[in-house]
């Protein structure tokens, strides 16, 4: 099969974008992993497949697959921004704001005048069973009314546990640049308390409006940026009383702006993310 693709990146998180708006595309897990492979394929953190939605009030459906595993996942923040950029560049819609359905969410995405993309990432989910997280027998520490959980085998840390459609465990660290992310990341990602594994966030608070973040992503390892991870980390920081409602997040691949009014408007307030999204090259691969 000859497959045309568009390679894109959002703050260094990189994607292979496949356009299935004209004809359906069904790839096997092996083909998805080949696309994601940085030696034997194109190479990317995630693969995004864009389809027309069957729902009258929704413009598109977009599916996300982790490149290393070929597994479908629920949400991808940097991917959502690249999706909007792709739709605009390919003229797939003349709207400035488009409605997009994912496997478990309905998103409103906007392309701004300054070329950055603003995404309504939906509301965070704190119900542990929906993360999912099994806290049975554990005693969380409560800070500012928000639970911080211990994890067996990671005694030196405590975690904010929440979902942005995909699962996140966020810990506060003194200095992200020197923190042992490569050692701790896999232990958190595969921890038995997360039945569907988890994205592991490492958050350094610089001020109430500025943070530094590294994320060891589920089924991807450390990426240069994680959009849903940035949302989860800022929401956790706000709930802990450490951050204001609008925060600049410095990741290794670039800067994201995250806004959440959850304390003033209610915890079901949407998380808004603004950041870069660029096309790197177009290509064709024979699978
Ligand atoms: N690895 C993530 C999916 C991609 C998330 C990340 N790339 C983002 O920008 O949100 C997971 O398995 O939940």
Question: What is the per-residue pLDDT across 8-30, written as a single tens digit (0 to 9) for each?
Answer: 999 999 999 999 999 999 999 99
Question: What is the per-residue pLDDT across 185-217, written as a single tens digit (0 to 9) for each?
Answer: 999 999 999 999 999 999 999 999 999 999 999
Active site residues: 76, 226
pLDDT number for residue 3: 97
**Which of 49-58, 201-210, 233-242 is predicted with the least confidence, judged by mean pLDDT?**
49-58
For residue 76, the ligand 1 atom closest to its alpha carbon is: 10
Which of 84, 216, 217 should be mutated for ligand 1, with most atoms under 8 A from CB? 217
- pTM for this predicted structure: 0.95
Closest CA to 106 of 144, 62, 140, 136: 62
For residue 45, the ligand 1 atom closest to its alpha carbon is: 7
Using the Cα atoms of residue 193, residue 152, residue 218 and residue 141 in order, give the sign of their dihedral.
positive
Average pLDDT score over residue span 230-245: 98
Two tokens, residue 43:
């190479």
Q: What is the 3-state secondary structure (H, E, C) of the chain?
A: CEEEEEEEEECCEEEEEEECCCCCCCCCHHHHHHHHCCCCCCCCCEEEEEEECCCCCCCEEEEEEECCCCCEECCCHHHHHHHHHHHHHCCCCCCCEEEEECCCCEEEEEECCCCCEEEECCCCECCHHHCCCCCCCCCCEEECCEEEECCCCCCCCCEEEEECCCEEEEEECCCHHHCCHHHHHHHHHCCCCCCCCCEEEEEEEEECCEEEEEEEECCCEEECCCHHHHHHHHHHHHHCCCCCCEEEEEECCEEEEEEECHHHHCCCCCEEEEECCEEEEEEEEEC
**Which of 97-106, 176-185, 271-280 is predicted with the least confidence, judged by mean pLDDT?**
97-106
| Cα 159 to ligand 1 centroid, rounded to whole Å | 18
For residue 230, the ligand 1 atom closest to its alpha carbon is: 10
Q: For the chain, give the longest Cα–Cα distance.
A: 55
Between the two ends of the chain, the Cα-to-Cα distance in Å is 5
Ligand 1: does its nearest atom lie under 6 Å from the Cβ of 166?
yes
Task: Give this complex's ipTM.
Answer: 0.95
Ligand 1: does its nearest atom lie under 6 Å from the Cβ of 220?
yes
| Cα 94 to ligand 1 centroid, rounded to whole Å | 28
Strand partners, 248: 210, 257
| Cα 216 to ligand 1 centroid, rounded to whole Å | 10
Ligand 1: does its nearest atom lie under 6 Å from the Cβ of 46?
yes
Ligand 1: does its nearest atom lie under 6 Å from the Cβ of 66?
yes
Strand partners, 40: none
Q: Please tell me the residue having the least CA distance from ligand 1 atom 13.
A: 166
Closest CA to 163 of 136, 184, 194: 194
Higher local confidence (pLDDT), 168 or 104: 168
Average pLDDT of every residue of the chain: 95
| Cα 75 to ligand 1 centroid, rounded to whole Å | 6
**242 touches 268 (CB < 8 A):** no
Closest CA to 81 of 48, 45, 118: 118
Which of 16, 63, 66 should be mutated for ligand 1, with most atoms under 8 A from CB? 66
Q: Please tell me the residue having the least CA distance from ligand 1 atom 5.
A: 76
Question: What is the per-residue pLDDT across 74-130, written as a single tens digit (0 to 9) for each?
Answer: 999 999 999 989 998 999 998 888 899 988 888 888 877 777 788 899 999 999 999
**How far, in Å, CA of 185 to CA of 20, rounded?**
34
């Amino acid at each position: 099969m000859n497959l045309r693709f568009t390679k894109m990146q959002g703050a260094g998180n990189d994607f292979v974008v496949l356009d299935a708006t004209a004809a359906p595309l069904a790839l096997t897990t092996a083909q998805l992993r080949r696309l994601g492979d940085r030696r034997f394929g194109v190479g990317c953190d995630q693969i995004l497949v864009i389809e027309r939605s069957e729902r009258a009030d929704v413009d598109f459906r977009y599916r996300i697959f982790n490149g290393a595993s070929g597994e479908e996942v629920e949400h991808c923040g940097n991917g959502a921004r690249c999706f909007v950029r792709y739709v605009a560049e390919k003229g797939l819609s003349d709207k400035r704001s488009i409605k997009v359905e994912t496997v478990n969410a309905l998103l409103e995405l906007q392309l701004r005048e300054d070329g950055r993309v603003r995404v309504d990432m939906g509301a965070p989910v704190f119900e542990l069973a929906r993360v999912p997280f099994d806290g049975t027998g554990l005693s969380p520490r409560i800070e500012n009314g928000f639970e911080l959980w211990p994890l067996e085998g990671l005694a030196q840390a405590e975690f904010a546990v929440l979902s942005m459609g995909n699962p996140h465990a966020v810990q506060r660290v003194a200095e992200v640049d020197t923190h042992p992310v490569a050692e701790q990341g896999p232990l958190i990602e595969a921890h038995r308390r997360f039945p569907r594994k988890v994205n592991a966030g490492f958050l350094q608070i610089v001020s109430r409006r500025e943070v530094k973040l590294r994320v060891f992503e589920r089924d991807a390892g450390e990426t240069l940026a994680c959009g849903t991870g940035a949302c989860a980390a800022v929401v956790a920081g706000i709930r802990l009383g450490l951050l204001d409602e609008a925060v600049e997040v410095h990741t290794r691949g670039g800067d994201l702006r995250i806004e959440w009014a959850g304390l003033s408007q209610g915890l079901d307030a949407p998380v808004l993310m603004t950041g870069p999204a660029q096309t790197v090259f177009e290509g064709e691969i024979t699978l």
